[in-house]
């Protein structure tokens, strides 16, 4: 186990050492230039993947960031007489600001998110190219870099550019590694799979997307800054080319854009291929062939080479090494009885969708430690109420407070951090994460920050609590409906909620599974959570609820003890029609 882990590290250390001192070997210039191009594409494609691969927002505008950085260095060195190295931070900062600006516009829109983002980034490329072409930044004539002195890092200018490209490449890979293994990366992967759920689990999606976008653009800008010295003569048409996004996407998709080193592998392979074509003098045909490879890769290898290889390895490893599941200490808070304090207070909660009024002024108090059943005919607004309380829909008017704090107009992730967790009627797991990773994410973002090992133990505890032990490393696709519903519960519990909103957890389960689920809900309350649950199954409502609230046509229709409410003729009439009420 340890040898298998250390081997890649040793390999990487040797590779870094050899590559760093390669210019001293005085190889023919071709190798310097070829390897520089490998570093160049590895850095660009890896930086693209930080946002586009990890979070799934495909950018077609990487040329805009790369080009802005390139021109920043070119203009500062030639027109303002700056030395070369200090221009690089500027070359990184300007694209980062640009990215934050674009992101602030696009990421706020709920509809059209992915494709709109792709096209807007492409459009930005054209706008920036036009601006640079028509202003004194370039002015249409291009910029010569030949007079700009390079810092004497090695004996030759080629060697110096090589070293700069290499340093950037290693730094980019280090950033990608760090992001992939951090809280930020976990959040980005969740955004990739299901952004709404990620937000509901406490991931600050807008902020994370902006950070990833800024990082991605900054690296591309710095790469552009170094590349300005490599190309020597800079033109707008040569810089803001569609080749840049095309190749970057191809390399990342081919290697696996969700993996931190997938793009590097794709970039190395494709750069070698391209060199073969260019030295054969067939650059145009090369572009066409690259396009054909991209189409084939998307159709037959949609996840990329690295994830495909990983999946294959995992399949062959699982049979041999079955992981021992540690006995974990239960994380049990004290058990409060139903208290007099009000945890959730809704006042005049109204939600309109255009002309349709889904909720028309609902007033509801839920006491600490209580189980409140929320029932009502189809379309009465039960799920809408859950969606409003959890922040998925903004309120039209009214107020919602949790433990005395107004949450009505907070973003969903802020509400989640205040101890509100929810499940979905149709389970919505993060499909590319294992069961354990799904629960770890909810535990990480749902409450206070804790050491990773502690979070893992808690996650295992909740997986065991919901009876999913042994399935930790399974992807959600490998679970049946019953298990997926319980995964929903495990995720909600891992956030240690004060208020748990359950949306039809029992629907679609068979009678034995329903009994099981009812026991589980009781156990959850015993852990100290307050529960609001939407349910159609009357047996469960009566068995579980302390009180029942009946919604009808977006208004609170009745409220009280389960047996009394369900016998109320008015309630019977809205369910079955007037004839049965008598």
Partner 1 sequence: MPSATLLGQALISGVLAGGLYGLLAMGLSLSWGLLRLVNLSHFALAFLSAYIVYELGTTYHVEPWWSAAMVVPLMFLIGAGQHWLFDRFKVNELASLLITFSFAVIVEVAIQLYWTADFRRYETEYATRSIKAGPFYIPVMELVLCIVAGLIAWGTWLWLRRTYVGKALRAAAEDAEIAAAYGVDHKKLAYLLSGIGAAYAGIAGTFIALIATLAPAQIWAYLGVVFAVVIIGRLGNPLGALAAGMLIGASESIAMAVLSPAWAPVVSFSVLIVILLWDPDWL
Binding map of partner 1 across residues 82-111, x = CB under 8 A, - = no contact: -----------------------xx-xx-x
Q: Counting contacts by CB under 8 A, is residue 397 touching partner 1?
A: no
Greatest Cα pair distance, the chain, in angstroms, is: 99
3-state secondary structure of 190: helix
Q: Please give the Cα distance from 21 to 300 (Å, whole number).
A: 39
Q: Please give the Cα distance from 290 to 288 (Å, whole number).
A: 5
Q: Strand locations in 173-329, DSSP E?
A: 233-234
Distance of CA 421 to the CA centre of its chain: 19
Q: Counting contacts by CB under 8 A, is residue 284 touching partner 1?
A: yes
Q: Please give the Cα distance from 169 to 89 (Å, whole number).
A: 16
Burial 433-452 (b: 16+ CB within 10 A, else e): bbbbbbbbbbbbbbbeeeee
Of the residues 38, 44, 70, 124, which one makes contact with partner 1 according to CB under 8 A? 124
% helix / strand / coil in the chain, to the nearest 5?
Answer: 60, 10, 30
Q: Counting contacts by CB under 8 A, is residue 122 touching partner 1?
A: yes
Q: Counting contacts by CB under 8 A, is residue 298 touching partner 1?
A: yes
Q: Counting contacts by CB under 8 A, is residue 288 touching partner 1?
A: yes
In the complex with partner 1, which residue's Cβ is closer, 30 or 126? Answer: 126
Residues 145-204 within binding reach of partner 1 (CB under 8 A): none
The distance of closest approach from Cβ of residue 103 to partner 1 in the complex, given in angstroms and rounded to an integer, is 12
Q: Angle 335-482-519 (CA atoms, 0-180°, nearest 5)?
A: 30
Binding map of partner 1 across residues 338-377, x = CB under 8 A, - = no contact: ----------------x-----------------------
The distance of closest approach from Cβ of residue 129 to partner 1 in the complex, given in angstroms and rounded to an integer, is 8
Residues 20-59 within binding reach of partner 1 (CB under 8 A): 56, 58
Q: Which residues pair with 357 in a beta bridge?
A: 352
Interface with partner 1: number of residues (CB under 8 A) = 41
The answer to whether residues 506 and 514 touch, using CB atoms and an 8 Å cutoff, is: yes
Q: Please give the Cα distance from 304 to 248 (Å, whole number).
A: 13
Distance of CA 221 to the CA centre of its chain: 23
In the complex with partner 1, which residue's Cβ is closer, 8 or 280? Answer: 280
In the complex with partner 1, which residue's Cβ is closer, 112 or 523? Answer: 112
Of the residues 118, 200, 374, 502, which one makes contact with partner 1 according to CB under 8 A? 118
Tell me the C-alpha to C-alpha distance, in Å, between residue 120 and each of 103, 188, 569: 10, 20, 57
Of the residues 24, 127, 278, 452, which one makes contact with partner 1 according to CB under 8 A? 127
Q: Please give the Cα distance from 67 to 71 (Å, whole number).
A: 6
The answer to whether residues 186 and 175 touch, using CB atoms and an 8 Å cutoff, is: no
Q: Is the dihedral of CA 71, 72, 77, 81 positive or negative?
A: positive
Q: What are phi and psi of 402, to 5 degrees?
A: -120, 120
The distance of closest approach from Cβ of residue 105 to partner 1 in the complex, given in angstroms and rounded to an integer, is 6
The answer to whether residues 494 and 443 touch, using CB atoms and an 8 Å cutoff, is: yes
Binding map of partner 1 across residues 242-261, x = CB under 8 A, - = no contact: x---x--x---x--------
In the complex with partner 1, which residue's Cβ is closer, 92 or 120? Answer: 120
The distance of closest approach from Cβ of residue 96 to partner 1 in the complex, given in angstroms and rounded to an integer, is 19
Stretch that binds partner 1, among 170-178, 225-233, 296-304, 543-551 (CB under 8 A): 296-304
Of the residues 60, 74, 76, 421, which one makes contact with partner 1 according to CB under 8 A? 60
Of the residues 19, 119, 167, 410, which one makes contact with partner 1 according to CB under 8 A? 119
Q: Please give the Cα distance from 408 to 7 (Å, whole number).
A: 53
In the complex with partner 1, which residue's Cβ is closer, 24 or 285? Answer: 285
Q: Counting contacts by CB under 8 A, is residue 126 touching partner 1?
A: yes
Q: Counting contacts by CB under 8 A, is residue 332 touching partner 1?
A: no
Q: Which residues pair with 397 in a beta bridge?
A: 350
Binding site for partner 1 (CB under 8 A): 56, 58, 60, 105-106, 108-109, 111-112, 114-116, 118-120, 122-124, 126-127, 130-131, 133-134, 242, 246, 249, 253, 284-285, 287-288, 290-292, 294-295, 298-299, 302, 354
């Amino acid at each position: 186990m340890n040898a298998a882990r250390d081997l890649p590290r040793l390999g990487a250390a040797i590779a870094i050492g050899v590559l760093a001192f390669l210019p001293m070997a005085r190889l023919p210039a071709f190798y310097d230039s070829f390897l520089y191009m490998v570093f160049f594409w590895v850095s660009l494609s890896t930086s693209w993947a930080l946002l586009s691969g990890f979070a799934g927002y495909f950018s077609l505008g990487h040329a805009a960031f790369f080009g802005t950085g390139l021109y920043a260095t070119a203009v500062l060195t030639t027109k303002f007489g700056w030395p070369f190295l200090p221009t690089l931070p500027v070359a990184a900062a300007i694209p980062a600001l640009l990215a934050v600006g674009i992101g602030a516009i696009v990421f706020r829109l709920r509809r059209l998110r992915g494709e709109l983002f792709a096209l807007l980034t492409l459009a930005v490329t054209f706008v920036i190219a036009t601006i640079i072409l028509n202003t004194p930044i370039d002015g249409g004539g291009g910029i010569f870099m030949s007079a700009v002195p390079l810092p004497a890092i090695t004996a030759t200018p080629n060697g110096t550019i090589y070293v700069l490209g290499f340093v950037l490449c290693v730094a980019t890979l280090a950033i990608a590694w760090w992001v992939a293994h951090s809280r930020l990366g976990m959040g980005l992967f969740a955004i990739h799979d299901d952004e709404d759920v990620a937000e509901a689990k406490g991931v600050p999606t807008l902020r994370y997307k902006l950070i990833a976008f800024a990082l991605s653009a900054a690296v591309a800008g710095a790469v552009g800054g170094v590349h300005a010295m490599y190309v020597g003569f800079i033109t707008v048409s040569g810089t803001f080319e569609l080749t840049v996004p095309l190749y970057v996407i191809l390399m990342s998709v081919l290697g696996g854009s969700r993996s931190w080193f997938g793009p590097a592998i794709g970039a190395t392979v494709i750069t070698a291929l391209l060199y073969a074509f260019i030295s054969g003098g067939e650059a145009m045909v090369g572009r066409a062939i690259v396009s054909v490879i991209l189409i084939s890769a998307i159709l037959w290898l949609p996840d990329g080479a690295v994830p495909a290889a990983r999946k294959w390895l995992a399949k062959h490893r699982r049979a041999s090494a079955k992981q021992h599941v540690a006995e974990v200490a239960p994380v049990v808070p004290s058990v409060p009885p139903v208290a007099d304090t009000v945890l959730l207070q809704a006042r005049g909660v109204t939600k309109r969708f255009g002309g349709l009024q889904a909720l028309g002024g609902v007033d509801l108090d839920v006491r600490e430690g209580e189980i409140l059943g929320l029932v009502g005919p189809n379309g009465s607004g039960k799920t809408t109420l859950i969606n409003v309380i959890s922040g998925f829909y903004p309120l039209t008017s009214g107020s919602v407070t949790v433990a005395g704090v107004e949450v009505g107009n907070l973003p969903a992730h802020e509400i989640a951090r205040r101890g509100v967790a929810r499940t979905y009627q149709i389970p919505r797991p993060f499909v590319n994460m294992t069961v354990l990773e799904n629960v770890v994410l909810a535990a990480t973002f749902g409450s206070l920050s804790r050491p990773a090992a502690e979070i893992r133990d808690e996650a295992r505890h909740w997986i065991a609590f919901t009876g999913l032990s042994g399935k930790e490393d399974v992807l959600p696709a490998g679970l049946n409906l019953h298990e997926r519903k319980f995964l929903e519960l495990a995720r909600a519990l891992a956030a240690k909620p004060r208020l748990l909103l359950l949306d039809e957890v029992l629907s679609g389960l068979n009678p034995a599974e329903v009994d099981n689920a009812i026991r589980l809900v009781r156990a959850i309350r015993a852990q100290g959570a307050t529960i609001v649950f939407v349910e159609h199954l009357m047996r469960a409502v009566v068995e579980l609820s302390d009180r029942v609230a009946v919604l009808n046509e977006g208004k609170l229709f009745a409220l009280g003890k389960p047996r009394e409410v369900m016998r109320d003729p008015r309630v019977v009439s809205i369910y079955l029609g007037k004839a049965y009420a008598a």
